[in-house]
Amino acid sequence: MQVEKCPQCGSPLVARTEGGCLVLKCTQCALEAVTTDPQALISDETAYSVRLRPVKEITPRVSASLAVALGIRAQTARDLLRQGGPIATDVSAVEVQRLHGLLSPLGFSLDIKPHFRWALD
């Protein structure tokens, strides 16, 4: 299967397999996507919205790790956690995967609308 171009910057993509999935990586920008069906993922034009699932306890450490991951202020992160606001709206499937890859190791889980049909790990 041929996947030619990065949807973000138009540079060539390189692909490698990992655990039955294809990992696509842009040769120029930071784009990376994991999929069993790369062409479909890249051409998924759904506009997703991503919210944080509620966390048990909003400690300064939790707010700080979210702030660092998203590049926002700690107070903004804390408000996001308290209010459960969206962290991204109108984003591509590739961006959803990027956010998941960023936030999942920190213990955050994401609520993605509409239903996300691509691999997230």
Which element (helix H / strand E) includes 82?
helix 74-83
Give min distance, CB of 4 to Zn ion, in A: 12
Euclidean distance between CA atoms 76 and 67, whole angstroms: 8
3-state SS, residue 103: helix
Residue closer to Zn ion (CB basis): 77 or 94: 94
42 binds Zn ion (CB under 5 A): no
Residue closer to Zn ion (CB basis): 8 or 49: 8
For tokens 């692909």, the residue is 15
24 binds Zn ion (CB under 5 A): no
Euclidean distance between CA atoms 62 and 58, whole angstroms: 6
76 binds Zn ion (CB under 5 A): no
CA 36 from chain centre, in angstroms, equals 16
Contact with Zn ion (CB under 5 A) among 26, 66, 91, 103: 26
Region from 29-37, 77-85, 88-96, 111-119 binding Zn ion, contact rule CB under 5 A: 29-37
**Nearest CA-CA partner of 34 in 85, 93, 104, 76:** 93
6 binds Zn ion (CB under 5 A): yes
Residues that bind Zn ion (CB under 5 A): 6, 8-9, 11, 26, 28-29, 31
